[in-house]
Amino acid sequence: MPSDPDFDLNRAHRYFSVSCFNRAWDLLDRSKRTPQEDHEMVFLGMAALWHWKQREDCTPTHLSIGYWQVARIYTLLRQADNAHLYAQQCLEISKMGDVAPFYLGYAYEALARAEAVAGNRAAMQGYLEEARHIVMHVTDPDDRDQLLEDLDTVR
C-alpha cells in the first residue's frame, strides 16, 4: 500500500467509520437476515471499529460505541465467546476517565447479553445490577430511559 495515497486518508477513515457503522446498524435492526447478511454485519462492525481506530479524532467514547456494536452483533449471532470478548473491551475502554456513565451502563448491558447467550444467568444478573447502578449517574432523562428499556430486554 502506498504511504502517500492520492486521496485524503483521514477523510476516508471518517467516511468508512460512519458508513460501515450505519450499515451494520441497519442489519442489526432487521428481524430476519440471511447467512450472507450475518457475515456482512460482522465485517461491517469490524470495519467501522478499525476505521474509528485510525481516525485522529478517535476518543474512548467512539471506541466504547464501536466495541459495543461488535459485541451486540455477536450476541445476535449467538456467539457468546466473541460477544463477551468485545463487551469486555467495551467495558475496559468505558472505564476510562472521559466516558459518560451512559456508555459504561451499555458496556455492562453488553456483558449481560453475552452471559445470557452463554447461559450464565448469575453472571448476567450481576452485570445487569452493575448497569442499573450506573443508570443512577446518567443525567439525561432520555438516555436513562433508553438504557433502562434496553436492560429490561436482556433475558
Contact indicator for 147, 135 with CB cutoff of 8 Å: yes
Q: What is the pLDDT of residue 1?
A: 61
Contact indicator for 74, 45 with CB cutoff of 8 Å: no
Interval 12-45: pLDDT, tens: 999 999 999 999 999 999 999 999 999 999 999 9
Amino acid at site 79: Q
Q: CB neighbours of 115 closer than 8 A, spacing ≥ 6? A: 80, 84, 121, 123, 124, 127
Interval 21-30: pLDDT, tens: 999 999 999 9
Model's pTM, two decimal places?
0.95
Interval 89-111: pLDDT, tens: 999 999 987 899 999 999 999 99
Residue 40 cell numbers, joined: 456482512
In degrees to the nearest 10, what's the CA dihedral of 106, 111, 113, 119?
-160
Residue 120 cell numbers, joined: 450464565
Residue 69 above 70 pLDDT? Answer: yes
Residue 2 above 80 pLDDT? Answer: no
